[in-house]
Amino acid sequence: MKILVINTGSSSLKYQLLEMEKEKLLSKGLVERIGSEGSIVNYTIGNEKNKFQKDILNHTDAIKVVFDILTNPETGVIKDISEIQAVGHRVVHAGERYSGSVLITEDVVDALEECAFFAPLHNPANIKGIKACQLVLPDVPMVGVFDTAFHQTMPDYAYMYALPYEMYVKYKIRRYGFHGTSHRYVSQVASQLLGKKDSKIITCHLGNGASICAIRDGISIDTSMGHTPTGGLIMGTRCGDIDPALVPILENVEHLTAKQIDDVMNKKSGMLGVSGISNDFRDLEDALHNGNRRAKLALEMFDYRLKKFIGEYAIVLGGLDALVFTAGIGENDPETRYEACKGMEFMGIYLDEEKNAKTRSELAEISLPESKVKVYVIPTNEELMIARDTKEIIESMKKNSKKPDDELVMSN
């Protein structure tokens, strides 16, 4: 079965085409600057990377360009788009509506449109991607896989904010958590490595956006991001948790509007805001080694916050079997992993410093053999997880010979 995975942003579209028998990646790519002149198309077929520029006016045209790439008689990987048996879409926010992936029907699109209130930047873009695919592939079943779904298992005392209860009733203001597909994928790999399902795992997804998750027996019981992805850990340009009363203070002292404060907290804060240099850990570590004081402070703040969450989640889980690092920083930055594990021997975490220093972008156990808690680097693969969910839903749809307009939900 060939499955296309689509991840759309407001002006971008990422795709991967996978052959699911061997879970082999056939082609992947990224269309950027959709809607402006000279959109950029990057794609890989096999190991060959290609790039070209073209005016792509909207997401439907972007999908058509992707299909031209995939079916090109000389360089393509399929003869005809009819070989694509299903499409899996990454969607950011499903509110409290879905706790698993779902076959996309008109009702599902309506529900996701309602959830745009929660993710005004992301959901409308994701819906554009779904509609564009439906136009070009009207008869192909599609599945939605949501960033929030994995965390729907959090207990109410973990997801509620201590605001007036009516705020929850009226507006569904609560913690949702994000990066669920990544936390789910790496925790599944970790539990296979541990050789048991009844496990206590902490997964650290440390990319430009960063979150951490406490997972008991395969189920998310707490995560660091909140109602929006701004909460929790310190991130590339996001502040993470701050004293909420700072919002009206900023409004007064800097005369900022709500939108401007949102911009400060999401785009000008975090590692960039504190260091004044960059959101990228490679730049910050270079600056640190050149004696830059603010880069040092930003990195220390990041490590300190991360460590506090690890401790908190180990307590919430009542012990720990594995600590997992993933995403850009988690997979590639031994210094962050070292700082997170330093001084944690009392919790049974013993890092193999040599192995840690050598590990980049590969699956590895980086704890010492005597470490009670296994420490793993596990490269994330959200697209594969989306494709697996899509395959499972399509197969069960066929088995039950459901029509695509019956609602079909997969539990996590």
> Is residue 333 at the binding interface for ligand ADP, with CB under 6 A as the rule?
yes
Least distance in Å: CB of 302 to ligand ADP?
Answer: 10
Please state, in angstroms and as integers, the Cα–Cα distance from residue 103 to each residue in 124, 376, 393, following that order.
Answer: 18, 33, 7
> Is residue 329 at the binding interface for ligand ADP, with CB under 6 A as the rule?
yes
Please state, in angstroms and as integers, the Cα–Cα distance from residue 197 to each residue in 310, 319, 360, 372, following that order.
Answer: 21, 15, 27, 17
Alpha-carbon dihedral 12, 18, 23, 28, rounded to 10 degrees: -50
Least distance in Å: CB of 99 to ligand ADP?
Answer: 24
> Is residue 236 at the binding interface for ligand ADP, with CB under 6 A as the rule?
yes
Least distance in Å: CB of 325 to ligand ADP?
Answer: 11
Least distance in Å: CB of 381 to ligand ADP?
Answer: 12
> Is residue 328 at the binding interface for ligand ADP, with CB under 6 A as the rule?
yes
Least distance in Å: CB of 167 to ligand ADP?
Answer: 29
Report how many residues bind ligand ADP under the rule CB under 6 A: 13
On whether the CB atoms of residues 154 and 221 are closer than 8 A, the answer is yes
Least distance in Å: CB of 275 to ligand ADP?
Answer: 12
Among residues 34 and 206, whose Cβ is nearest to ligand ADP? 206
Among 332, 356, 359, 381, binds ligand ADP (CB under 6 A): 332
Among 43, 118, 150, 281, binds ligand ADP (CB under 6 A): 281
Among residues 192 and 361, whose Cβ is nearest to ligand ADP? 361
286 given a catalytic annotation: no
Among 263, 280, 312, 339, binds ligand ADP (CB under 6 A): 280
Binders in 203-222 for ligand ADP, by CB under 6 A:
207-209
> Is residue 282 at the binding interface for ligand ADP, with CB under 6 A as the rule?
yes
Among residues 180 and 328, whose Cβ is nearest to ligand ADP? 328
Stretch that binds ligand ADP, among 91-99, 127-135, 219-227, 321-329 (CB under 6 A): 321-329
Identify the active-site residue in 68, 110, 139, 147. Answer: 147
Stretch that binds ligand ADP, among 1-9, 136-144, 169-177, 273-281 (CB under 6 A): 273-281
Least distance in Å: CB of 150 to ligand ADP?
Answer: 17
Least distance in Å: CB of 97 to ligand ADP?
Answer: 25
- Please calculate the CA angle 107-110-111 and round it to the nearest 5 degrees: 85
Please provide residue 334's backbone torsions phi and psi, each rounded to the nearest 5 degrees: -60, -30
Stretch that binds ligand ADP, among 196-204, 217-225, 275-283, 301-309 (CB under 6 A): 275-283
> Is residue 308 at the binding interface for ligand ADP, with CB under 6 A as the rule?
no
> Is residue 223 at the binding interface for ligand ADP, with CB under 6 A as the rule?
no
> Is residue 382 at the binding interface for ligand ADP, with CB under 6 A as the rule?
no
Sign (positive or negative) of CA dihedral 325, 327, 332, 336: negative
Stretch that binds ligand ADP, among 194-202, 239-247, 328-336, 369-377 (CB under 6 A): 328-336
> Is residue 286 at the binding interface for ligand ADP, with CB under 6 A as the rule?
no
Among 327, 341, 384, 408, binds ligand ADP (CB under 6 A): 327
Residues that bind ligand ADP (CB under 6 A): 207-209, 236, 279-282, 327-329, 332-333
Residue positions annotated with a catalytic role: 147
